[in-house]
Amino acid sequence: MPLGPFIREAAGADSVKVEDGNLLTGGAIQENRALTVVIRGGDFDGTHEMVLRAEAAATIAESRPLDQQFALLKAAEAAGVTVPKPFWYCGDAAVAGKTFYLMQRITGEALGIRVTRQGEQPELATELGSELARIHAIHPPRNDLEFLDAVTESPALDAIAKYRGYLDELPEPHPVLEWTLRWLENNAPAAGEIVLCHRDFRTGNYMVHEGELTGVLDWEFAGWGDPHEDIAWFCARCWRFSGPQLEAGGIAARNVFYNAYEHGSGRTVDRDLVAYWETMAHVRWAVIALQQSMRHRSGEEPSLELALIGRRLAELEYECLRLTGAMK
């Protein structure tokens, strides 16, 4: 079934016209293509700017399959999170050559280096703190999210075991990362409240138009975890781009982001836990960078972008050593 008939059936429409657009930039794990879809009849009558989201030629272990991403996007929308509207998921690869889902194409800028070049943006940081609080209002158990891994006694130890496993699959040793994982293991916090963590909530994964948030993107890593994991990921040095002095995502001081999150969630941010999860964040990003570069090195998906991501390892290892006190 071609794409047009699939949309006509899903939308309950009389007719559908699809104008294929360009492959969108950004997203090293997923493939995103712009579409203009003209629907006549039914509840979706009108012209819709959409994105067809499919998996790239090669992916990484942490990335969730598309049907799960779509379910997470729907759950976030239902919780009041500002996200692109999810339309339909298609598990039939014959329709578009691979499985995919369709979502609203939103306007704005997402590229981290451009967003952070605008300087201090406390209003945007406040919006983002409130958005993260809405995400963290989603708790287990959830029938619509039953595919998420069961909650365990220690999200931190689970993460450490997972990253060790990924490192073991690589062809060369990485002693700085192994040492940092051991430090994280020795300092692992007791389990606390469990919420839905986006796990990639950062500058570069939201869109901004004229200073205002238009949508939180990229849900392929989401899962149950400690809320401080997301707070730390947003504040980690590796995601500040052109604004390293602005510790909340390169756009504001931490307290601006923390205050908005605390007001929206009713929780008090534990600064020590954020510091712990920031260390974990740099290990995690280092492991993902290595996995991304292996997609290129293996010949599975030759890509200069993927090769360059692997070049980030040295700065991430340096940050691991600094955060654990090994640089003293």
Give the model confidence (pLDDT) of 229-273 as tens digits.
999 999 999 999 999 999 999 999 999 999 999 999 999 999 999
Structural domain span for residue 81? 3-104
Give the model confidence (pLDDT) of 206-216 as tens digits.
999 999 999 99
Angle formed at CA 233 by CA 231 and CA 236, multiple of 5 degrees: 110
Task: Please tell me whether residues 54 and 159 are part of one structural domain.
Answer: no
Task: Please tell me whether residues 192 and 244 are part of one structural domain.
Answer: yes
Question: Is pLDDT at 128 greater than 90 in this prediction?
Answer: yes
Half-sphere exposure of 280 toward its Cβ, with a 13 Å CA cutoff? 31
Examine residue 302 and state whether it is found in any structural domain, yes or no: yes
Residue ending a domain, choose from 53, 70, 104: 104
Task: Please tell me whether residues 170 and 240 are part of one structural domain.
Answer: yes
Task: Please tell me whether residues 148 and 82 are part of one structural domain.
Answer: no
CATH at residue 7: 3.30.200.20
Examine residue 198 and state whether it is found in any structural domain, yes or no: yes
Residue ending a domain, choose from 74, 104, 134: 104
What is the pLDDT confidence band of residue 219, given thresholds at 50, 70 and 90? very high
Question: How far apart, in whole angstroms, are the C-alpha atoms of residue 179 and residue 219?
Answer: 30
What pLDDT does 23 receive?
Answer: 72
Examine residue 328 and state whether it is found in any structural domain, yes or no: no
CATH at residue 210: 3.90.1200.10
How many domains are there within the chain? 2
DSSP code per residue over 27-66: -SSEEEEEEEEEEESSTT-EEEEEEEEEE-SS--TTSPPH
What pLDDT does 41 receive?
Answer: 97
Task: Please tell me whether residues 318 and 198 are part of one structural domain.
Answer: yes
Angle between helices 175-186 and 155-168 (to 10 degrees): 160
Helices (H), the chain: 3-11, 66-78, 93-96, 112-116, 122-135, 155-168, 175-186, 227-235, 254-265, 271-297, 304-310, 313-323
What pLDDT does 26 receive?
Answer: 59
Examine residue 187 and state whether it is found in any structural domain, yes or no: yes
Task: Please tell me whether residues 285 and 137 are part of one structural domain.
Answer: yes
Asked whether the CA dihedral 88, 89, 95, 97 is positive or negative, the reply is: positive
